[in-house]
Amino acid sequence: MRLVLLTNNRLPPREGIGHHLLGLARALAARGHRVRLVGAGMGSTWQEGELEGLPLDLYPRRAPRPLHHLAARALLERRLAQWAEAGWDRLHVHLPLLPPLDVPQRVVVTVHTPLVTDTAATRETRLEALASRLWARAVGRRWERFWLARAERCFCVSSRVARELAADHRLASPPPVLVNGVELAHFPWPPPRRREPIILYLGRLGPRKGLFNLLRAFALLPQRELTLELLGEGPLEGRLRRLAHELGIARRVRFAGFADRVGVLRALARCRLFVLPSIYEGLPLALLEALAAGAPVVTTPACALPEFGPKPPFLVARPPDPAGLAAAMAELLDSPDRERELVLQGRALIEARFTWPKVAAAFERQLAEPVRQAA
């Protein structure tokens, strides 16, 4: 198979979809397939290179977001046509936010989050949030519909995303699930026995991540020796810093910024507790990596997906408000036996279901089955 994997995310990856793309590409290459990565660059010209030994192409950004996707449309179509002539006969599109493209390849689609559901998950009334919701309904939904109709295969990263996508686009049935994966070689086992007094959040500082709730919950914790570390970047950083000052916890909150893979692995290895307070998720890679690293995890019902089973290997804050998050964090911090039990269960689940070789094998099996009817 000669496969082009296309995303609107930046590469090398800085967010979950980009890491999914790279992880799947590595696993497919290890199984003997030819893969090519295509993502958004930071410059105004097309850039070619390699990423971990795989061909990498970055399309230019010649307009403000999200119009840069449209601005690169003609160039993407031309390059994809050239690659098709050279034998790159499949295109794997990762949504959301890729415009319709007229391409000769056979198309496979993976939906990480349905755009309308994603943007509606937060109840923010700021102008930027309202504009995102309007864009999703007026433009993003049409882009999704184009790719669903064009694709011979469609996958979703979780069963909930599949149900949401089927409901939004009135599909005959939910698409099959192709989950996120973890590169186990990056996460030694057993995990370190001594961890630092750090509560870690890893991910984008964005609206649907529930970070205002996390700061308020941290302020309620009786354990005052702890530090809250936010490892990531995003548009909410300024507002979060202001809230930390208002809550009187600014000295115990560390805004660590973006970290490369080495930095992420170090943070997961040393944290006392990993917290993902999200309001909405597709299938969070950060949560999978925390489980693989042996970090005790507190999260919300938004992350208690069927893929984790009826008894997920983490503590779920109910309700997912500041008081509920604080209570869940305090409970796990004070329960070493429960913590060890969940850590072992989490690692076992990752090894059983969420490694990239297993995901790549499932991808191959799906492509070998008879082609479905277009959506």
What domains are there in the chain, each with its CATH number? 2-181+355-368 (3.40.50.2000), 184-353 (3.40.50.2000)
Confidence at residue 374, expressed as pLDDT on a 0 to 100 scale: 43
Amino acid at 249: I
Indicate the pTM of the whole model: 0.93
Give dist(CA 345, CA 33) in Å, integer. Answer: 33
Confidence at residue 65, expressed as pLDDT on a 0 to 100 scale: 64
Give dist(CA 225, CA 73) in Å, integer. Answer: 52
pLDDT tens for the chain, 375 residues long, are: 999 999 999 999 998 999 999 999 999 999 999 999 999 988 888 999 999 999 999 998 776 666 666 778 899 999 999 999 999 999 999 999 899 999 999 999 999 999 888 888 876 767 777 878 887 788 889 999 999 999 999 999 999 999 999 999 999 999 999 999 999 999 989 887 778 999 999 999 998 999 999 999 999 998 889 999 999 999 999 999 999 999 999 999 999 999 998 999 999 999 999 999 999 999 999 999 999 999 999 999 999 999 999 999 999 999 999 999 999 999 999 999 999 999 999 999 999 999 999 999 999 999 988 765 444
Strands 47-51 and 34-40 come out as unpaired
Instruction: Single out the residue of 341, 337, 355 nearest to residue 292, CA to CA.
Output: 355
> 31 near 365, Cβ under 8 Å?
no
Length of the chain: 375
Amino acid at 159: S
Give dist(CA 35, CA 28) in Å, integer. Answer: 7
Confidence at residue 370, expressed as pLDDT on a 0 to 100 scale: 74
Structure tokens at 169: 């686009």
Residue 127's CB: how many other CB atoms inside 10 A? 8
Give dist(CA 43, CA 10) in Å, integer. Answer: 11
Q: Which residue spans within 145-222 are E strands per DSSP?
A: 153-156, 198-202
Strands 273-276 and 198-202 come out as parallel
> 24 near 30, Cβ under 8 Å?
no
